[in-house]
């Protein structure tokens, strides 16, 4: 049987590709709409531009170097890690009023089934090990003033979805 | 291109004027060549139509871009899926019309990465930069393999090799093979994934000749041996042995028997031997050894490559010179010598390194001479030029990096010129003798 140029198989491949994107899109929308509390994180914006990806703010977080509890101190502990995020009383003022800023309080490779644990990937960067949460880019319009945000001037509005992934919802200016 | 057709017409008219061909033949040849030009079927109306379509498309893109922030996520995703389906379906329906199917297949090929980028932008996704490329290759490959044209498969193969190179030399990707500073070695499954990507890149490549994908694989393996990976080698001897063995393997298996030249693989081997000539200035392994010692796996791979290359040289016909069986033995000797001279670097000192450099120079000189003689025998101007180029480059390099002073260099230039003159005399004499023997 000649597979090359077979219309039936080509349409099957196209259908599989479309099914993948439809499914992934649906899953991302469901993650964003997870019924879990929204909270804020302190950010340190860096290097706000990239020619290939469009305009975005690259974000580092206070929780990128998690400390306290069982969080790793050795630089060799890389890979999957869960970080417990909690309101320790730190506050900030936004247009919506005073909000709580969450901080890292504990780390564990196999955390208990309770809310507040976010999935991270520990990688090595020039300054040492860094926890990456998959929320390190916020895409915005090139005319948006937030693209020039300085360290400490904006908060990231996030939530934790069902798979314990952090979802970045918005970048909010502090007053 | 237009100037080519003008010149062709002029040359054909001149040939007809000189009586070589009839004016009718000249006109027929011109019509045939002109009719077969690219976009020959495109009339003015087609070009105007294409320009109109381009303007409308650009206008739509700009209007959408200016309202981008006002469009909600679901609409953007739905519009993307619609475009994706449209491009794919149009490519399938117009499969028999290459002028439309080729650009549509290209659009279809790029749709997955456009979708990944769009979703990343909508949902502010970030993370491992290599994963999107792997996902793109996985999504695009089936359609590329099913296409009756090779373009998609070429692009997929290039994409896989690009992903392999960029992923394996990074520290923090799903394909990373180089060690993070102060961290444990990369997990074994990274190697499994990298080898799968490599195999995919080679297997998908649609060309019948394996030279390019084999070359890309050989260079990748050498980069992995040099980089800070689990198979790193750090001693000059093992680096040279593995590099030269890889060059020989590429040369042996990368060209087809019916090829009249070995192309890039040959130039790479010549480059490797040329680089070896600089061991004249060797001062010890201090620089390369600074980043650690050879790994056991790296050493084993280097020896395996050497064994494989040596066996290939002995048992396979060699493509170093294009004259087939006649020059097979000189080719085998030169290739084996290029690898075996690496042994002079084990426990090397300045004297053995200098001996290595001298041998490398002799290999180049021998290759140049045999190449000229082989080219003269087979009336291959290209082969003669290659031999002359190798000899000239070797001679000029040595004048600059060894002799130094104007007087010494001047004398060396004269001596080389005389040697070239003598070589030209004997080559011409040999060629005449060959012609005479054929006449008899």
ipTM: 0.84
> pLDDT value at position B151?
86
CB nearest to B84's CB, from A21, A24, A56: A21
User: Hey, are the CB atoms on A20 and B69 less than 8 Å from each other?
Assistant: no
What is the C-alpha to C-alpha distance for residues A136 and B128, in angstroms, rounded to an integer?
A: 11
- Mean pLDDT of all residues in B262-269: 82
Best B69, B126, B153, B181 member to test A by mutation, with max A CBs in 10 Å, is: B126
Tell me how close the Cα of B215 comes to any Cα of chain A, in angstroms.
27
Tell me how close the Cα of B124 comes to any Cα of chain A, in angstroms.
5
* Bridging pattern class, strands A137-139 and A154-160: unpaired
The three-class DSSP label of residue A70 is coil
> pLDDT value at position A130?
86
User: Hey, are the CB atoms on B120 and A25 less than 8 Å from each other?
Assistant: no
CB nearest to B183's CB, from A10, A32, A78: A78
What is the C-alpha to C-alpha distance for residues B387 and B366, in angstroms, rounded to an integer?
A: 9
**pLDDT beyond 70 at B430:** no
What is the C-alpha to C-alpha distance for residues B316 and B310, in angstroms, rounded to an integer?
A: 10
The three-class DSSP label of residue A92 is strand
Which range, of A128-137, B36-45, B164-173, averages the lowest pLDDT?
A: B36-45
> pLDDT value at position A75?
58
> pLDDT value at position B352?
85
**Residue B113 · residue B132 · CB < 8 Å:** yes
**pLDDT beyond 90 at B109:** yes
* pLDDT band at residue B209 under the 50/70/90 scheme: confident
What residues does each domain of chain A span?
Answer: 1-33, 37-173
DSSP state letter for A75: T
Which chain A residues are Cβ-neighbours of B117 within 8 angstroms?
53
Best A10, A11, A54, A133 member to test B by mutation, with max B CBs in 10 Å, is: A10
The nearest alpha carbon in chain A to B65 belongs to A141
**Residue B109 · residue B143 · CB < 8 Å:** yes
Burial of B418 (0-12, 13-18, 19+ CB in 10 A): exposed
**pLDDT beyond 70 at B439:** no
Q: What are the distances in angstroms from CA B278 to CA B41, B338, B356?
A: 57, 14, 9
The nearest alpha carbon in chain B to A32 belongs to B123
Interface of A with B (CB under 8 A): 3-7, 9-11, 13-14, 16-18, 20-22, 24-25, 28-29, 31-32, 53-54, 56, 75-76, 78, 121, 123-125, 132, 134-139, 141, 167-168
Please give the interface size between A and B, counted as residue pairs whose CB atoms are below 8 Å apart. Answer: 109
Q: List the end-to-end C-alpha distance of chain B, in Å, as a whole number.
A: 48
> pLDDT value at position B291?
61
The nearest alpha carbon in chain B to A127 belongs to B181
CB nearest to B84's CB, from A11, A17, A134: A17
The mean of the pLDDT values for chain A is 85
- Tokens (6 digits) for B207: 């060309």
**Residue A134 · residue A14 · CB < 8 Å:** no
Buried b (16+ CB within 10 A) or exposed e, B426-439: ebeeeeeeeeeeee
**pLDDT beyond 60 at B325:** no
The nearest alpha carbon in chain A to B119 belongs to A25
- Mean pLDDT of all residues in A2-24: 90
Which chain B residues are Cβ-neighbours of A125 within 8 angstroms?
172
The nearest alpha carbon in chain A to B187 belongs to A79
pLDDT tens column, B25-41: 888 988 888 877 655 65
Tell me how close the Cα of A173 comes to any Cα of chain B, in angstroms.
17
Q: What does residue B214 show for φ and ψ, rounded to 5 degrees?
A: -65, -40
What is the C-alpha to C-alpha distance for residues B52 and B421, in angstroms, rounded to an integer?
A: 65
The nearest alpha carbon in chain A to B140 belongs to A17
Which chain A residues are Cβ-neighbours of B119 within 8 angstroms?
21, 24-25, 28
Q: What does residue B52 show for φ and ψ, rounded to 5 degrees?
A: -60, -45
Other residues' Cβ atoms within 10 Å of the Cβ of residue B5:
13
Which chain B residues are Cβ-neighbours of A20 within 8 angstroms?
139
What is the C-alpha to C-alpha distance for residues B334 and B320, in angstroms, rounded to an integer?
A: 9
Which chain A residues are Cβ-neighbours of B68 within 8 angstroms?
141
Q: What percent of chain B has pLDDT over 70?
A: 85
The three-class DSSP label of residue A27 is helix
Tell me how close the Cα of B126 comes to any Cα of chain A, in angstroms.
5
- Tokens (6 digits) for A163: 């798979």
Q: Could you tell me which of A122, A118, A124, A125 has the C-alpha nearest to residue A167?
A: A118
- Mean pLDDT of all residues in B266-279: 89
The three-class DSSP label of residue A165 is coil
> pLDDT value at position B326?
60
Q: What is the largest CA-CA distance in chain A?
A: 69
> What string of H, E and C letters represents the secondary structure of chain B?
CHHHHHHHHHHHHHHHHCCCCCHHHHHHHHHHHHHCCCCCCCCHHHHHHHHHHHHHHHHHHHHHHHCHHHCCHHHHHHHHHHHHHHHHHHHHHCCCCHHHHHHHHHHHHHHHHHHHHHHHHHHCCCCCCCHHHHHHHHHHHHHHHHCCCCHHHHHHHHHHHHHHHHHHCCCCCCCCCCCCCCCCCCCHHHHHHHHHHHHHHHHHCCCCCCHHHHHHHHHHHHHHHHCCCCCCCCCHHHHHHHHHHHHHHHHHHCCCCCCCCCCHHHHHHHHHHHHHHHHHHCCCCCCHHHHCCCCHHHHHHHHHHHHHHHHHHHHCCCCCCCCHHHHHHHHHHHHHHHHHHHHHHCCCCHHHHHHHHHHHHHHHHHHHHHHHHHHHHCCCHHHHHHHHHHHHHHHHHHHHHHHCCHHHHHHHHHHHHHHHHHHHHHHHHHHHHHHHHHHC
DSSP state letter for A153: S
Burial of A112 (0-12, 13-18, 19+ CB in 10 A): exposed
Best B124, B148, B173 member to test A by mutation, with max A CBs in 10 Å, is: B124
Residue with tokens 């296409």: B147
Which chain A residues are Cβ-neighbours of B126 within 8 angstroms?
132, 134-137
* Bridging pattern class, strands A54-61 and A79-94: unpaired
Best A2, A21, A26, A121 member to test B by mutation, with max B CBs in 10 Å, is: A21
What is the C-alpha to C-alpha distance for residues B64 and A104, in angstroms, rounded to an integer?
A: 41
Tell whether B98 is within 8 A of chain A (Cβ): no
- Tokens (6 digits) for B266: 């040959």
């Amino acid at each position: 049987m000649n597979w090359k140029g077979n219309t039936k198989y080509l349409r099957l491949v196209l259908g599989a590709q479309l099914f993948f994107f439809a499914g992934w899109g649906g899953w991302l929308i469901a993650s964003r709409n997870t019924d879990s509390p929204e909270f804020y994180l302190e950010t340190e914006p860096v290097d706000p531009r990239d020619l290939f990806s469009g305009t975005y703010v690259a974000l580092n977080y206070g929780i990128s170097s998690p400390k306290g509890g069982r969080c790793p101190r050795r630089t060799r502990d890389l890979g999957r890690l869960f970080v417990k995020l909690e309101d320790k009383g730190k506050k900030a003022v936004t247009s919506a009023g005073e909000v709580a800023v969450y901080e890292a309080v504990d780390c564990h490779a196999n955390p208990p089934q309770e809310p507040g644990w976010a999935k991270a990937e520990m990688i090595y960067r020039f300054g040492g090990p860094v926890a990456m949460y998959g929320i390190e880019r916020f895409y915005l319009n090139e005319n948006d003033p937030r693209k020039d945000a300085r360290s400490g001037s904006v908060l990231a509005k996030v939530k934790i979805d069902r798979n314990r992934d952090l979802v970045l919802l918005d970048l909010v200016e502090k007053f | 291109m237009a100037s080519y057709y003008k010149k062709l017409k002029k040359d054909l008219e001149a040939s007809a004027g000189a009586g070589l061909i009839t004016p009718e033949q000249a006109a027929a040849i011109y019509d045939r060549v002109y009719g077969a030009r690219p976009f020959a079927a495109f009339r003015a109306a087609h070009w105007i139509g294409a320009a109109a379509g381009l303007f409308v498309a650009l206008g739509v893109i700009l209007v959408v871009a200016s309202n981008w922030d006002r469009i909600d996520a679901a609409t953007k995703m739905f519009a993307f899926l619609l475009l994706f389906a449209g491009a794919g379906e149009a490519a399938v329906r117009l499969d028999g019309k290459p002028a439309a199917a080729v650009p549509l297949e290209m659009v279809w090929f790029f749709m997955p990465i456009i979708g990944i980028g769009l979703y990343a932008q909508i949902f502010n996704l970030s993370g491992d930069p290599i994963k999107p490329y792997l996902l793109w290759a996985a999504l695009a490959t089936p359609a590329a393999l099913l296409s009756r044209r090779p373009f998609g498969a070429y692009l997929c193969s290039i994409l896989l090799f690009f992903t392999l190179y960029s992923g394996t030399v990074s520290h923090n990707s799903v394909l990373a093979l180089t060690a993070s500073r102060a961290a444990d070695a990369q997990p074994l499954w990274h190697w499994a994934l990298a080898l799968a990507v490599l195999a995919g890149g080679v297997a998908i490549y649609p060309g019948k000749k394996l030279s390019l994908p084999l070359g890309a694989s050989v260079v990748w393996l050498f980069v992995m041996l040099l980089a800070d990976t689990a198979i790193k080698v750090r001693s000059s001897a093992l680096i040279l042995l593995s590099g030269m063995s890889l060059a020989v393997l590429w040369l042996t298996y990368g060209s087809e028997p019916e090829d009249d030249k070995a192309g890039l693989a040959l130039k790479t081997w010549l480059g490797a031997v040329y680089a070896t000539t600089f061991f004249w200035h060797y001062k010890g392994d201090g620089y390369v050894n600074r980043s650690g010692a050879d790994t056991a796996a790296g050493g084993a791979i280097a020896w395996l490559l050497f064994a494989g290359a040596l066996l290939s040289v002995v048992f396979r016909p060699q493509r170093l010179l294009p004259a087939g069986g006649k020059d097979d033995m000189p080719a085998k000797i030169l290739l084996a010598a290029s690898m075996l001279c690496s042994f002079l670097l084990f426990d090397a000192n300045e004297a053995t390194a200098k001996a290595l450099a001298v041998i490398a120079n002799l290999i180049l000189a021998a290759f140049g001479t045999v190449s000229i003689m082989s080219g003269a025998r087979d009336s291959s101007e290209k082969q003669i030029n290659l031999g002359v180029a190798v000899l000239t480059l070797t001679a000029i390099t040595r004048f600059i990096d060894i002799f130094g002073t104007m007087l010494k260099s001047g004398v060396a230039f004269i001596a080389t010129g005389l040697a070239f003159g003598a070589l030209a005399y004997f080559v011409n004499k040999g060629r005449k003798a060959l012609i005479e023997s054929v006449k008899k």
